[in-house]
Every structure is written in structure tokens, then in C-alpha cells.
């Protein structure tokens, strides 16, 4: 008799749970939404928004010989040392573009001087233009493939491997033995990008906000209402 009474008491709870599961399952079949906290925009739109707010520095070596690649890095160091101080305090990308256009001849002269000091006579072409870049890792950030505006410095035939960094906002670092973008530089990047856009740059293995969650408001309401009775 007691067992029968216990079964009667359990019956409503069993029915209630079946009801909840049935409702949740029907909502799933009807199109339960997946909420992703960091990716509400399409990857293409995120890339476009990122590209609208940064300028890359793109230096292309004459060839892949050891001497030409070393020369590329010397030109890189000279250009960054010339530009980094002046561009660090620039807040708007339009102002950064104007500054770079004004400095274009000085940038070219600086590169030519470095090349001459290294007993080479390569030509240098400097331009501020949009170019396609594949997916590129820069320190612990990963920039998606797409069209970006870049200050392009082509040395000689420009047939060698290239080097790049984010010139605006100022993220350029030259010590590649410690390939992590400094926190101070990341803060500058956060200022010009939305939270969603910035988080999309974080290497997936380091992004703790990339989990997808399945959410049913009705289920949560019933669960919270009756959780103390279970």
C-alpha cells in the first residue's frame, strides 16, 4: 500500500518532466536559436569592419636571398622608427592616412638611404593602397583574409617574402622572438574596433568566449520554478 502511494506521488513529477522535455523538443524542431556571444555578424562583415579601421605596413623584399631578406628587415626597422612616434598619437584613421601620404617621400628616402648604406642600389616604391591579404597571424592575434589598406614598400623587384604589421593603430613590434602583441597595443586596437570585432581576432584556442549555447527560455523558467521540488 505504501509503495502504491509513493508511486502516486511520483507520477505528477514524471508527467511534468515528460511535458517539459516534450515542449523543449518541439521548440528545438521549430527552430531553437543558437546564441553566439561573439559572432552575431557574418565573418565577411567583421573583416570589412576591421579593415575599415586599420592600416597595415607591408614591406616586400627584392628576393628571397638571405641578404635581401636581411635588408628588408633593416628597411622595416628604419621605417617603423620614423613613423611610430608620429603615428602613435593619431586617433582617427583618416588622420593616419593623411599623415602617411604627407610622409610618403620621406619614407621612400629613408628606405633608399638604408639600402645605399648596405651597398645596394635597389629602387623603392611606396604607396598607400588596398591589397588582398590571406589569413595572417600577428603575434597572438589572427587577422582574417580580405582587402586591407596598407602602406606598401616594395624593394627592387619585390619578388621576395614580405613582412607586415598593423601600423595604425600602432601595433608594430620588431622583436619576433616574443611574438605577443603588448597589452598596451591591444588596448589601442580595442578603441577602434567593436568588442565583437576585437574578439574575432583572438586565436580560437585562446578565446574563451567562443562557446555556442542552446537556450530555451520556457525550459529555464520551469526549471527554476520547480528545481527546489526535485
| DSSP secondary structure of 148-204 | EEEEEEEETT--S-EEEEEEETT-----GGG----HHHHHHHHHHS-HHHHHHHB-G
pLDDT-derived band at 39, boundaries 50, 70, 90: very low
pLDDT-derived band at 24, boundaries 50, 70, 90: low
More confident residue, 21 or 8: 21
pLDDT at 228: 40
pLDDT at 11: 52
pLDDT at 134: 94
CB 136 within 8 A of CB 143: yes
What number of other Cβ atoms are within 10 A of residue 71's Cβ?
Answer: 25
CB 36 within 8 A of CB 212: yes
What are the CA-CA distances from residue 94 to residues 40, 87, 100, 195, 223 (Å)? 27, 12, 10, 21, 53
d(CA 209, CA 189): 18
Give yes or no for residue 109 having a pLDDT over 60. yes
DSSP-derived secondary structure letter, 122: -
pLDDT at 35: 44
More confident residue, 225 or 157: 157
Give yes or no for residue 1 having a pLDDT over 80. no
Mean pLDDT (whole number) for 40-69? 94
The pLDDT tens digits for 58-84 are 999 999 999 999 999 999 999 998 887
pLDDT-derived band at 225, boundaries 50, 70, 90: very low
Task: Compute the half-sphere exposure of residue 33: CA atoms within 13 Å on the CB side of its CA.
Answer: 5
The candidate with the shortest Cα–Cα distance to 210, out of 38, 20, 35, 71, is 38
The candidate with the shortest Cα–Cα distance to 38, out of 187, 217, 208, is 208
Proportion of the chain above pLDDT 90, given as a percent: 49
The candidate with the shortest Cα–Cα distance to 168, out of 82, 87, 59, 81, is 87
pLDDT-derived band at 8, boundaries 50, 70, 90: very low
pLDDT-derived band at 172, boundaries 50, 70, 90: confident
Q: Any idea how long the chain is?
A: 230
DSSP-derived secondary structure letter, 143: E
pTM above 0.85, yes or no: no
pLDDT-derived band at 206, boundaries 50, 70, 90: low
d(CA 166, CA 140): 13
Give yes or no for residue 100 having a pLDDT over 80. yes
pLDDT at 203: 73
Alpha helices in the chain (DSSP H): 2-29, 43-51, 66-88, 93-102, 104-117, 183-192, 195-201, 217-226
Amino acid at each position: 500500500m505504501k509503495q502504491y502511494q509513493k508511486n502516486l506521488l511520483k507520477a505528477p513529477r514524471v508527467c511534468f518532466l515528460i511535458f517539459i522535455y516534450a515542449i523543449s523538443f518541439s521548440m528545438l524542431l521549430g527552430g531553437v536559436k543558437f546564441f553566439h556571444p561573439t559572432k552575431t555578424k557574418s565573418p565577411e562583415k567583421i573583416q570589412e569592419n576591421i579593415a575599415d579601421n586599420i592600416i597595415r605596413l607591408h614591406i616586400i623584399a627584392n628576393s628571397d636571398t638571405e641578404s635581401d631578406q636581411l635588408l628588408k628587415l633593416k628597411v622595416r626597422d628604419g621605417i617603423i622608427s620614423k613613423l611610430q612616434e608620429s603615428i602613435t598619437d593619431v586617433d582617427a584613421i583618416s588622420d593616419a592616412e593623411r599623415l602617411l601620404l604627407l610622409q610618403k617621400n620621406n619614407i621612400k628616402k629613408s628606405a633608399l638611404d638604408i639600402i645605399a648604406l648596405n651597398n645596394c642600389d635597389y629602387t623603392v616604391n611606396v604607396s598607400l593602397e588596398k591589397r588582398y591579404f590571406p589569413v595572417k597571424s600577428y603575434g597572438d592575434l589572427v587577422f582574417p583574409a580580405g582587402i586591407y589598406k596598407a602602406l606598401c614598400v616594395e624593394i627592387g623587384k619585390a619578388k621576395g617574402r614580405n613582412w607586415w604589421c598593423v601600423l595604425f593603430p600602432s601595433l608594430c613590434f620588431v622583436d619576433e622572438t616574443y611574438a605577443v602583441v603588448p597589452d598596451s597595443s591591444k588596448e589601442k586596437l580595442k578603441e577602434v574596433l567593436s568588442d565583437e570585432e576585437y574578439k574575432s581576432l583572438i586565436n580560437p584556442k585562446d578565446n574563451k568566449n567562443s562557446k555556442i549555447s542552446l537556450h530555451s527560455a520556457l525550459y529555464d523558467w520551469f526549471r527554476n520554478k520547480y528545481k527546489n521540488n526535485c
